[in-house]
Amino acid sequence: MPQPTQFDVIIIGSGAGGAPIAHTLVNAGKSVLMIDKGPLLRPQDDDPLGLSDYKRDELMSDGPEKRLTIPGLANTGASFYTSHVEPDLNDEPHIYRKDGSGDLATIEGYTCQCVGGGTQHYGGVSLRFSATDLRLRSFNQGRTDVRNDPDGVVAREARDWPISYDDLEPYYSKAEKLVGINGTRENQAKRASEDNYQTPLPPNPISEYARVGMVALGMKPYRTPQAVITQDHAPSGRTVGRLGQLPWDGGPKTAYVNRYGDPLDFKSNTWVSLLRPISRKPNFALWPNCNVTHLESTGARVTTVSVRDPSGRPRSVAGKVVVVACSAIESVRLLMLSAERSADFSGRIHQNDLLGKYFLTHCFGGASAVMPGRFDKSLTVDSDWATDFCGSEEFIRANGLWAGATIYNNTSDQALPIALARTHGAADLDTLWHGFNNDFSVVGDRFAGFLNNEFNRRLSVSFMANQVPQKTNRIELHPTVRDKWGRRVAYIIKNWHPHDQFLMDTIAARCRDVLAFGGDNGGGHYPVEGFGGVYLSENALARIANHILGGARFGADEADSVLDKNCRAWHFDNLYVADGAFMPTSGSGNPTLTIQANAFRVGDALLQSGLI
Amino acid sequence: MPTIVPRDDLYVLNHCARSLARDNTDARHDYGQYAAGDTRARIAEAWRFPIVDSYFDGRSYDDSYAFNTVTFVYAIEDDRAHDVAVIGTFADLVTPIPLRPVADSVYRSVSVAVPKGQVHRYRFLVDGRSVLDPINPQRTTNPDGTEWSRFFTQFCTQIVSFERWEIALLTRLTDHILPFRTVQAQRFLNLYLNGLDRASKDLQYARAYRFDQPIGVVNFIDKIVAREESHRLIDYKICLELIDRVLRRRNPFEEPAHMPAAMYADLYDQMADENVPEWDRSRYGSPRFFLQLLRRHTYTGAFSHPKYGGNAGAAGWAYLSYNLKDPLTGALPDPAAQSTAFDWSRALEKPLGRNPEYHG
């Protein structure tokens, strides 16, 4: 590790928010230090011995049992199972409170403490948000047809983003080009100035049911955009060559993609696409395995970043600009912990009462069914078909909704045997082992029957939709629970609004229809045994969410936001927040591509800021 | 002497920071596996040490597959210079192998090549003084009474946790759960395992098969309660003893391991219902809880990567490939077909699988 020195920019976190900024600034000749709490796990090609730190190994992702030992929580003593890159819940939990549930230690799905962050383990679904998503206040003004909103929360709390889709659009195109996304543009409702998609791989045959269902329902399908490199990718230098072109060779289609780091780096996570290409430049430094404990400021300038090195020893380092991009909850927590140590820092970051407020996840859910045929789902990427049908303003109004949704099918769910049992009987993908362990009748012949009925026959169709912003949904510091450094951990209080539940019921029924029409070739009568929104599931207790957003929303009015239009904290000159925390609304699609696009935008703003 | 493997500093730090770097000294990671005051209870996932990982000899990944890289780590707790070395049965037991300083850190480390399928004991020499590994939870007592730290490599089939009678009982219990009892499944597995080439047999299931276990699941459980889930060893020790006692009370004239399948089926159902009249609840409160544990371990052992000691010869995966019927036609896949319901080997490393790029 280099000695403490002055960098132009220090970026905390190397995922979807931090990496595009590093990529932009390093290529512009600025000196950048990137710090990540987690290891730099190397795919095979980056390892000196050609051995990947990521493995095609279900037990690496579905870790062994541990037990929660933190005293005084509602789930103290409970079993938990974390992957090799998820934080240990006894060391670094998030505490989640929902009405009636008490305090639960938990972690969000797809949390990855490693270089690349969540983009290492994500399925790679890279949807754009719609133009409507960015102007939900304007869209809902004066409406009287929004259902299940008795107190008028939607009209009061919906916010327009301080930038329009047209402002963001060039950065979507840039992200799609530099990250390396495959997909198809035809049938997408979202306007694109460039088609930078790589060619998608042939879909898994089981996805045909979803496509047929979508077509039967008038939902125009397109190939789900995904961060998987399928062709030689000039911006990152990742070449594919012949591998993956033939169905029997070892290309990117394996079930070890969603929820796995990719040993062969086909997945275009931020390490592969954005950081590795700049990693040998002299003006870029990367400190993995280093935990930032707090920031220190003098007046309106953050001057010092305090770090624990890989041995746990304190260090400090200075930069002209500090970018916080540790994922929404941890970024808000870092700002709050820094404020606890300094009245001046506190006065600036708490210039209004909004830091931590309007925490957002997604309304999500879907439907799942055992399909008529059996297909080898291990030959898959995460998703094959998507549709914007439920995102049009016409659809939203006709259904009394406040915002729209994107629907797409999942092919990788339960594609491997341990994942099948681990999620058996669960309404979602995260309620671990509960169903199988308690289904005591599944033994012997019935076990064989279970595998015959379920394995490689299940197809799920999911939706992703905006959650109604509520000020009471918030991130705080927990009063008593502390992490392994003695720092207070994040405390998340979150409940669903009645309209969220209405929206989830509405869109989940559409997902059910896709399978009901797809399963019997357009007849609409194929049995679908499970559908609903996440609010119905056990998982709503076990995990907060997969997507964590908001808590430091950006806006044009400093009285109504934590960050300005360029994601700089109001009342600071040089402090930026660049992960999903900036979002005032959570969008109708998986958030990663939007976080990346916004971060490229922030990178350009930094170059024009005069600060560096 | 074993081959020293040139693993770089980053590799070592990647494993250390998360588990070892901390201020907190609570016993946060004690789920019942440690005695009071044991400092290893401070360490997250202490079982990861020493690090057992893939190996490459610089020439051939296929040849290298017979070995693991084992990386020992020792953390210096003060600022003074120390000489740290390791001795163990993986080498000649007397020649110290020095641990090198990991740049700008408190850690010392050395990586060595060790054949797969082995169990070894070792101690550190710190300034010449012999000490147990202060991180690794696995320990073993030598016949001479000395205590040693222990590790085992992948594909290990040497039993480390259970007695012979416990293995026999577990074999019957897991056999009741697993789907391999049907005539068709038995025939398939026998053909499949006999069809493996000699090298695969040696590597993947030589000893497990001799135990006559359903595809190595008991061996998997033996390993997971020795390492990742050592806090669950006590559950097995108590419950196997109670199960043995219950079965003997029901039939005093036969060894439990030889009792008819119906005895196990009845007991299984009673355990699921929390209704085993002879069960000593003062020793273990919930037989149902033990059954949940056993179900998870049984399933996992049957279908996880064979390096963990179960799924012998990948027979569990092969079962999924060739024994699930086409729901539209009712037909089983053609045994000669490359394309099956589950082409697991396409993604996995050679020689276990057939991926042309991935080395495991």
| CA distance linking residue B131 with residue B143, whole number of Å | 18
Give the count of domains, chain B: 2
Q: How far is B170 from chain A (nearest CA, A)?
A: 15
The mean pLDDT of A224-244, rounded to a whole number, is 88
Looking at residues A394-398, what average pLDDT do you find?
A: 98
Segment A62-75 shows an average pLDDT of 92
pLDDT of res. B240 = 98
- The residue type found at A260 is Y
**Percent of the residues in chain A that have a pLDDT greater than 70, as a whole number:** 95
- Burial of residue B77 (CB within 10 Å: 0-12, 13-18, 19+) is exposed
**pLDDT at residue A246 in the model:** 62
Looking up residue B141, the CATH number of its domain turns out to be 2.60.40.10
Partners of B299 on chain A (C-beta within 8 Å) are 418, 421, 436
Residues B60 and B188 grouped into a single domain: no
pLDDT higher than threshold 70 for residue B312: yes
Residue in A closest to B20 by C-alpha? A311
Do the domain assignments include residue B318?
A: yes
- On the question of pLDDT at A430 being above 50, the answer is no
Indicate the range of A1-15, A85-99, A127-141, A242-256 predicted with least confidence: A242-256
CB contact under 8 A, B347 and A440: no
Angle A285-A289-A290 from CA coordinates, rounded to 5°: 75
- Residue B283 pLDDT greater than 80, yes or no: yes
Count the neighbouring beta carbons within 10 Å of the beta carbon of residue B6. 11
Q: Is the distance from CB of A592 to CB of A274 less than 8 angstroms?
A: no
Q: Which domain holds residue B320?
A: 164-346
Residue A209 near residue A519 (C-beta atoms within 8 A): yes
The answer to whether residues B59 and B168 belong to one domain is no
Are the C-beta atoms of residues A264 and A240 closer than 8 Å to each other? no
Residue B205 has pLDDT above 80, yes or no: no
The yes-or-no verdict on residue B175 having pLDDT over 80 is yes
**In which region does residue A603 sit, left (phi positive, over 0), alpha (psi from -120 to 50) or beta (all else)?**
alpha
Residue A314: count other Cβ atoms within 10 Å of its Cβ.
11
Which of B152, B175, B209 represents a domain boundary (last residue)? B152
B173–chain A Cβ distance below 8 A for any pair: no
Task: Give the up-direction half-sphere exposure of residue B247: CA atoms within 13 A in the CB hemisphere.
Answer: 25
CATH-assigned architecture of domain A6-46+58-607: 3-Layer(bba) Sandwich (3.50)
Query: Across-strand partners of A51?
Result: none
Q: Is A205 helix (H, G, I), strand (E, B) or coil?
A: helix
CA dist A236 and A89 (Å) reads 35
B353: in domain: no
pLDDT at A4 > cutoff 60: no
pTM listed for this prediction: 0.96
Q: What does the pLDDT average to over B286-313?
A: 95
- Both structure tokens of A189: 């409702």
Spatial separation of the C-alpha atoms in residues A55 and A459, rounded to whole Å: 25
Count the neighbouring beta carbons within 10 Å of the beta carbon of residue A472: 12
Residue B270 pLDDT greater than 60, yes or no: yes
Which residue in chain A has the smallest CA separation from B185? Answer: A448
Question: Binning pLDDT at 50, 70 and 90, where does residue B202 land?
Answer: low
What pLDDT is attached to residue A110? 85
DSSP state of A580: G
Cis peptide bond N-terminal to B50, omega within 30 = yes
**What is the rounded average pLDDT of the residues B96-116?**
97
A434, pLDDT greater than 90: no
pLDDT at residue B53, as a whole number: 98
Q: What is the pLDDT of residue B225?
A: 98
Q: Is A518 helix (H, G, I), strand (E, B) or coil?
A: helix
Give the bridge partners for A297, in sequence order: A302
Mean pLDDT, chain A, rounded, equals: 93
- Lowest mean pLDDT across A104-113, A318-327, B50-59: A104-113
Using pLDDT thresholds of 50, 70 and 90, give the confidence band for residue A100.
Answer: confident
Structure tokens at A11: 């970026």
Q: Smallest Cα–Cα separation from A180: which of A207, A166, A198, A202?
A: A198
Residue A486 has pLDDT above 80, yes or no: yes
**CA gap B72, A133 in Å, rounded:** 52
Q: Assess whether pLDDT exceeds 70 at residue B68.
A: yes
pLDDT of residue A506: 96
Q: Do B24 and A486 touch (CB under 8 A)?
A: yes
Same domain (yes/no): B225, B117: no
Q: Is B183 within a domain?
A: yes
B17 and B77 share a domain? Answer: yes
**pLDDT for position B356:** 87
Q: Evaluate whether residue B356 is within a structural domain.
A: no
The pLDDT of residue A300: 98
Judged by CB atoms closer than 8 Å, whether chains meet at A485 and B23 is answered as: yes
Mean pLDDT of A483-504: 96
Contacts of A41 in chain B (CB under 8 A): 14
- Return the percentage of chain A with pLDDT > 90, whole number: 82
With a cut of 80, say whether residue A242 has pLDDT above it: no
Q: Do B14 and B87 fall into the same domain?
A: yes
Q: What are phi and psi of A450, to 5 degrees?
A: -60, -50
Both B116 and B171 in one domain: the answer is no
What band does A531 get if pLDDT is binned at 50, 70 and 90? confident
Residue B207 touches partner A, C-beta closer than 8 Å: no
Average pLDDT over residues A355-382: 92
Please compute Rg for chain A using Cα positions: 23
- Asked whether the beta carbons of residue B177 and residue A444 sit closer than 8 angstroms, the reply is yes
Cβ neighbours for A502, distance < 8 A, ≥ 6 positions apart: A147, A148, A400, A401
Give the pLDDT mean for A120-133: 96
Q: Are strands A405-410 and A284-287 parallel, antiparallel or unpaired?
A: unpaired
- A568: β partners: A576
- Count Cα neighbours of A157 within 13 Å in the Cβ-side half-sphere: 25
Q: What pLDDT digit, counting tens, does each position of A188-222 carry?
A: 999 999 999 999 999 999 999 999 999 999 999 99
Give the model confidence (pLDDT) of A71-91 as tens digits: 999 999 988 888 999 999 999
Q: Judge whether A67 is closer than 8 Å to chain B, CB to CB.
A: yes
- Cα A315–Cα A319–Cα A320 angle in degrees, nearest 5: 160
Same domain, B260 and B331: yes
Asked whether the beta carbons of residue B326 and residue A66 sit closer than 8 angstroms, the reply is no
pLDDT cut 90: percent of chain B above it: 80
pLDDT at B208: 44
Report the range out of A256-260, A375-379, A416-420, A569-573 with the highest average pLDDT: A569-573
Q: In terms of domains, do B172 and B287 share one?
A: yes
The model's pLDDT over B26-56, given as tens digits with 9 standing for 90+, comes to 999 999 999 999 999 999 999 999 999 999 9
Average pLDDT in chain B: 92
- Let me know whether B139 and B203 are in one domain: no
B159 assigned to some structural domain: no
Inter-chain touch B299–A484, beta carbons under 8 Å: no
B200 shares a domain with B67: no
Tell me what pLDDT residue B338 has. 66
Domain parsing of chain A, residue ranges: 6-46+58-607
Residues B196 and B103 in one domain: no
pLDDT for res B199 = 58
Q: Find the angle CA(A100)-CA(A101)-CA(A105) to the nearest 5 degrees.
A: 155
Same domain? B82 vs B211: no
Q: What does A211-262 look like in DSSP terms, one character per residue?
A: HHHHHHTT--EEEPPBSB--S-BTTTTB--TTTTSSTTS--S--SSSTTS--
Q: For position B206, what pLDDT does the model report?
A: 44
pLDDT over 90 (residue A107): no
Instruction: Say if B320 falls within a structural domain.
Output: yes
H or E element, residue A12:
strand A6-12
Helix (H) or strand (E) holding A347, with range, is helix A343-349
Residue B202 lies in a domain: yes
Q: Which range among A69-73, A253-257, B11-15, B195-199 shows the weakest confidence by mean pLDDT?
A: B195-199
Chain B CB contacts of A485 under 8 Å are: 22-24
Closest CA to A475 of A315, A348, A354, A300: A354
